[in-house]
Structure 1
Amino acid sequence: MKKLYLDYQASTPVAKEVLLKMQPYFIELFANPHSGDHAMGWKAATHIDIAAQQVAYLIGADSDEVIFTSGATESNNLAILGLAKRAALTKTTRKRILLSAIEHKCVLSAGHVLKEQYGYVVDYIPVDRNGQIISAELEQLLSDDVLLVSIMAVNNEVGSIQDVASLSEVIRNNGAVFHCDAAQAPMAMSMRNFAEQVDMLSLSGHKMYGPKGIGALFISRDLQNQIEPLIYGGGQQSGLRSGTLPTPLCIGLGAAAEYISSAELSGMNNELRARRDKLFRMLTALPWPTTLYGSKFERRHPGNLSLGFEGFNAQDILGALQPNLAASSGSACTSGIPEPSHVLKAMGVTTEKAESVIRFSLGFETSDQELEETVRLIDAVLHRLSGNASIIS
């Protein structure tokens, strides 16, 4: 039986177009891009500059505002810790950090470090039952002592898409810095104006059909002298993130940015959304009570379906589906921790219901046949778990 993969928000495959562009830089064009004394080093550096331009184009920035990192986790840490640590050195009066209650664990962990080690006050912005920021609550939390606000563009568990433009106006009018974890955004929305709306923005290659181990942090040019590096060394990337850049991975991220911002993407996203909706109709037509968590379909990631199976435990369902189907009971970065999703808890979902939720995330490769097989497998597993005889063939 073919193994079914419905965990594309955890990781996408590398697109063939992207892989082909990366390959020469492993064997043929392998020179260190920071070797400034010979033509081979210059050539590698030129191609990294092109990759930075491709990433910059995706979000409407300039290439000198793009810092390559190892992924969105590092980007988020550099943005949040880098700004706050430098601000602490200047004895800033802005000693509060605002984080949305449904941020990725790496953002929440960075906030904890700032609270415990640097004395910052960290407050959490509530969301409604759909995973949307409550604007009135954000406005009430904002004051002239807030240094930074971090809100993700698209949630990694329930797929809720935030109104970044409206949030930006409220936050920046207050004088706070706006950081946005946009790792899930390239698959979900146009990002062409993001550089105008945020001060810092994090991306990850393997969420957008690029390779793992590479990401980027957009830092507005005016803000770059206010960021304390996390990694010190040879002063690469304007001293903000030292270390030899992995040329093939940078090329891959640039190619992925070009791929995901192509004119064909709109049509591909429409097909993805249609298949997501079809899977929803098929699963909810089964004789098992289900609940959809997150925003309505028009305001959620086009491949995301966060569905609770009432009376069942998600871990039991996923375990019984192995090795035939890959899905997730939450973010891949937290699914190994035996605790209810902090995202669902922030949305007001009870522990019992949160533990019944499975995140199905579809990709461009997902076929109608795979959807039908997914529904058949889940129906068989639920029959078995409920005590009815059924065998997965």
Structure 2
Amino acid sequence: MVHRPIYLDCHATTPVDPRVLEAMLPFFTEQFGNPASLTHAYGWEAEAAVARSRQTLAAAINASPEEIVFTSGATEANNLAIKGIAEACFSRGRHIITVQTEHSAVLDPCKYLESLGFQVTYLPVQPDGLVNLDALDKAFRDDTILVSVMAANNEIGVLQPLAEIGMRCRDRKIIFHSDGAQSIGKIPLDVEAMRLDLLSLTAHKVYGPKGTGALYVRRRPRVPLAAQLHGGGHERGLRSGTLYTPQIVGFAKAVELGEAAMAAESARLTDLRQCLWNGLRPLGGLHLNGHATQRLPNNLNLSFDGVDGQALLLGLRGIVALSSGSACSTVSSAPSHVLKALGRDDALAYASLRFGLGRFTTAAEIDQVVAGVISTVQALRQVAE
């Protein structure tokens, strides 16, 4: 059997949980109907499955089922939220606030809108990766129509203070969106307590299938949103296209499992992360990226002094599967924009590892990774001397 490295890249994607696959399978074969076909039993079966899934996802974030709009993933959800608000609120203002450390699925739509005449304020972060709320207060303008701040950072795992941000937006009647791709099923999300108007979700970060996600769209008070896909009027006209029933069922099952095990899994992963951190500390020359505790329980992001970043990843290739940053930015040769925003220089930003622990990670695997990283870093430092 071919040896495969230990998988610690769960921020990039996660394996489909067998229980999720089991829930999906009937909708590929026996219950294959189109949920929009409401004249026969095949369509009714699919439509009922979608309705149940909608209820499950809504309950997980304290929303109503009618506020869940299915998409192909968080990237589409982010685009629908940001561009949809820009178009719908064009007459009210053309100013948007976001954060320098956002995922490209938020930053790129904002840059696109800038090319159309919108103005975007990119808030800096503090050295621990958290938004400075005073800076946010100063960024608000009379023509601000949207604030977009991700719930949990995909590289450094930092959890932003959504409730405090939401309160500030609500007081000013500004729409508040969050990219929750890394958060659903891992940390508590409550759109009411956090005063969220829009929340982007995806399945494949929480042991569900790739290719499906959702956007929560508040109905009271109603959030104006311009559709980005037209044709058929699906999802109340906000997102046309035949719903992918097996994927949606799998998404809901994945979230259901994540919610049920959240407390216990969070404690287990926090313990494993601490073991990893304690095991690597004797190396010295380590820099923790992001807040020490206000972060996802499965995230550890470290920069290593005295090593070449590319050599580090190559040296670990047969030991552990991980990355130095977002899977969506690995085609770029530039250092991580997230780590640069924290103040890391290019050398440290390149020589960084993002450890993404997961549901199937074991203590024995963490021990193996610690040993492999220590030996690799020590060897590279000796060569560099």
> 2:144 maps to what in 1?
146
Q: For 1:101 and 1:352, locate their aligned partners in 2 and report how far apart those are by CA, in whole Å.
A: 20
On the 8 A contact 2:185/2:259 being kept in 1, the answer is no
- Structure 1: how far apart are the matches of 2:104 and 2:359? 27
2:280 aligns with 283
Percent of residue pairs bearing the same amino acid type: 38
Residue 178, structure 1, aligned to residue 173, structure 2: no
Alignment of 1:378-393 (within 5 A): 378-387=373-382
Does residue 363 of structure 2 align to residue 368 of structure 1?
A: yes
SS at match of 1:106: helix
Name the amino acid aligned to 1:345.
Answer: K
Question: In structure 2, which of residues 267, 271, 274 is the aligned counterpart of residue 270 of structure 1?
Answer: 267
Q: How does 1:1-393 map to 2 (within 5 A)?
A: 1-88=3-90, 91-92=91-92, 94-117=93-116, 119-193=117-191, 197-222=195-220, 226-262=224-260, 264-286=261-283, 288-297=284-293, 299-387=294-382
- SS of the aligned residue for 2:80 comes to helix
Count of residues in Structure 1 that have an aligned counterpart in Structure 2 = 382
- The RMSD of aligned alpha carbons is 1.6
Measured in 2, the distance between the counterparts of 1:307 and 1:188 equals 21
Write the letter of the residue equivalent to 1:183.
A
CA distance in 1, matches of 2:229, 2:78: 14
> C-alpha displacement at 1:187, in angstroms?
4.8
Q: Note if contact 2:325-2:353 (Cα within 8 Å) is conserved in structure 1.
A: yes
Question: What's the CA shift string for 1:117-161, capped at 9, x where partnerless?
Answer: 2x1111111210000010000000012210000000110111111
Q: CA deviation at 1:291?
A: 0.9
Q: 1:196 to 1:342 in 2, by over 3 A?
A: closer
Q: Confirm or deny: 8 A CA contact 2:186 2:259 kept in the other structure.
A: no
Given that residues 57 and 192 in structure 1 are in contact (C-alpha distance below 8 angstroms), is that contact kept between their aligned partners in structure 2?
A: no
**Paired residues of 1:10 and 1:332 also in contact (CA < 8 A):** yes
TM-score by length of 1: 0.94
Determine the C-alpha separation between the residues in 1 that align with 2:375 and 2:331.
25
Cα distance in structure 1, aligned partners of 2:255 and 2:381: 45
TM-score (normalizing by structure 2) = 0.96
Offset from partner CA, 1:236-278 (integer Å, 9 cap, x none): 100100000000000011111211111x320111001100010
How far residue 355 of structure 1 moved from its aligned partner, in angstroms, is 1.4
User: Is contact 1:329-1:359 (8 Å) kept?
Assistant: yes
Letter in 2 for 1:141: A
- Measured in 1, the distance between the counterparts of 2:287 and 2:278 equals 12
CA distance in 2, matches of 1:278, 1:34: 50
